[in-house]
Each structure stands twice: as structure tokens, then as C-alpha cells.
Structure 1
């Protein structure tokens, strides 16, 4: 039963990331210019198990703290988070420019 929970969780995470990658090609998402944001979210979801694992390994020594976990976690998640942030900023700027053009 533990294997089902463990591998089911991993498959659910990977399936969710793949779903977001496929959904980014949807016409409704493209019309709102959200494809980059959806891909950034999928990338974050896809790398989160590895980041959690590396963060857990960073807390293996007995004198480690929660800060060591976050250093390990963010070491892996830094690039996907920056990609998501860049896509969010680009989407926000594009949205504000379109709103100015309409008024």
C-alpha cells in the first residue's frame, strides 16, 4: 500500500505537469497570452519532487537547520521560479499595454 501512495503521488505530479504542458497549447490560453505562464507552472511542478528530495538530503547531518532545507530546495527550484517570474512579468506588462490601447 505504501508503494501505491508513493508512486501514485509521483505519477500525479508528473501527470499534472504534462497536463499543463499540453494545456499551454490550448486556443483559449493562447488568446489570453498565458502559454508562458502555464509552461512555467508546469516546470515548477515537474521539478518540485527533486527539489524536495535535495532539500531533505541537505538536512541529513544532525546539526542542520530548516535554513539548510531551504538552501537545498531553492538550489533546484531557483531557475524554474525565475522562469515563472519572468513569464508573469511579461504577461502583466503585455496585459497592461493592451488595456491602455483599448482606452
Structure 2
């Protein structure tokens, strides 16, 4: 039986991995780009500019929301989304810290 060892890693490592997983699909990157340009967006507007079905866009929005990268409100049949900039700022700080540590380690590499 496989043993789940995720708990063996730091909270920061787990957080960075979760963020990377959430943005690992090109459709999610495109959705984030649309949201950034418009500041907030109705799901139907996203469907209009992407070559994806409504159900596919909704699934990607759900993944981004579950990861905390976007916020959304439902008003009847309409769902409005915007980027959670605090989550992106945290990722930016954590990733830059990781990048600097990796560069330091690499300086000592053969």
C-alpha cells in the first residue's frame, strides 16, 4: 500500500507545489490573463474569448478557485470571478525565496 508522505515537506514547499499544479494547464493561464485584463469577469465572457466549451471553462475556474487563486461570486445563473492578488503575492515571495536558495546552492555546484 502506498504511503502518503506529503506531510514530510514544509508548508512553503506544499504551497508552492499546489500553486504550480493549479496553473499547470495552459487554459488556466489564459483564464488568468483574461481576468487580469478585465479586473473581474463573468464566466460567459471568458467562454467568448477562449476556444473552450462552457463546461470546460467552468471546470478550470473551479480548480483555480479551489486553489485560492481566484475569488468568485454567484448571482443566480451568473458567476463573476477576479484574481486573488494576495495569493499571487505570497507565491511570488515564496518562489523568489526558493529561486535565491537554488541559485546559492548552484554556485557551489561543480
> What TM-score, normalized by structure 1, do the two folds share?
0.40
Query: Higher helix share goes to which structure?
Result: 1
Query: Higher strand share goes to which structure?
Result: 2
